[in-house]
Amino acid sequence: MKQYAFIFARGGSKGLPRKNIKPLCGKPLIVFSIETALQVPGISKVFISTDDAEIADIGARAGAEIIHRPAELARDDSQEWLAWQHAVKWVTERYGEFNQFVSLPATSPLRSVADVEAAITKLQDSGADICISTTPANRSPYFNMVKETASGGVELVNKSASGVFRRQDAPTIYDITTVVYAVKPAYILQQTALFAGDVVHTIVPKERAIDIDDIYDFKLAEAVLSTPGALC
């Protein structure tokens, strides 16, 4: 079974400029994802899809093969799904068809090899189209999330849940993380959205589910990695 890892990293980033290669504990952020991918026994190749020469250079030196992403797929408003499709086609043309596409975003440096393997196994065992990673949510639309009304007041996001008064009575809710996405390549080519088909999930503990979007997320990851026994 051919399983390939993919890391999608644009040069542009508004929330945290150049975040994909920002040094975290002494090494570029993207290298964490590359190193984890290379440690997963079932993954035989690691690819980086990027429009940025510096990211490409760092990625290649860390052991990844580079997919040069077209500029139209690397804008702020570009759909990453289209970059996924481009990568699947690029790899298939050069290496033939493969069985699993495993996306490991650079913004989740705290993932473990076990997290990646869990998603791969869940996809295989379930027969689903895609396995996403999730973590238990702090807030729930059934209990403590509100939205502003036109008059300036607030109401529950899920108004049908007005009879739920305790967190214990609300359904368990999960946040989608960027730890890992395991997907059938054919599903990526045939569909245009994450939830268009049969989706399952694997649960990641909060301490490994940090998604770096801004400097506060980065500092949190830095603090976690700096604790005794961590990677720093």
pLDDT at 200: 97
For residue range 220-230, list pLDDT tens digits in order.
Answer: 999 998 877 66
pLDDT band at residue 167, thresholds of 50, 70 and 90? low
**pLDDT, tens digit, for every residue of 90-145?**
999 999 999 999 999 999 999 999 999 999 999 999 999 999 999 999 887 777 77
Instruction: Give the domain ranges of the chain.
Output: 3-136+173-225, 138-171
The answer to whether domain 3-136+173-225 has CATH 3.90.550.10 is yes
Residues 141-165 have pLDDT tens digits of 777 778 898 888 888 777 665 565 5
From residue 98, give the alpha-carbon distance in Å to each of 39, 63, 87, 145, 154: 19, 20, 12, 42, 49
Q: How many CA atoms lie within 13 A of 42 on its CB side?
A: 18
Rounded average pLDDT over 29-54:
96
Among 111, 90, 132, residue whose Cα is nearest residue 208: 111
**Per-residue pLDDT tens over the stretch 55-104:** 999 999 999 999 999 989 888 888 999 999 999 999 999 999 999 999 99
Task: Give me the sign of the Cα torsion angle 102, 74, 10, 63.
Answer: positive
Are β-strands 100-103 and 27-28 bridged in parallel, bridged antiparallel, or unpaired? unpaired
- Enter the tokens of residue 66: 């580079």
Q: What is the pLDDT of residues 17-33, one digit of tens each?
A: 899 999 999 999 999 99
In the predicted model, what is the mean pLDDT of the chain? Answer: 91
Place of tokens 């946040």: 175
Strand partners, 23: 28
Residue with tokens 């869990």: 118
Alpha-carbon dihedral of residues 148, 150, 155, 161, nearest 10 degrees?
Answer: -120
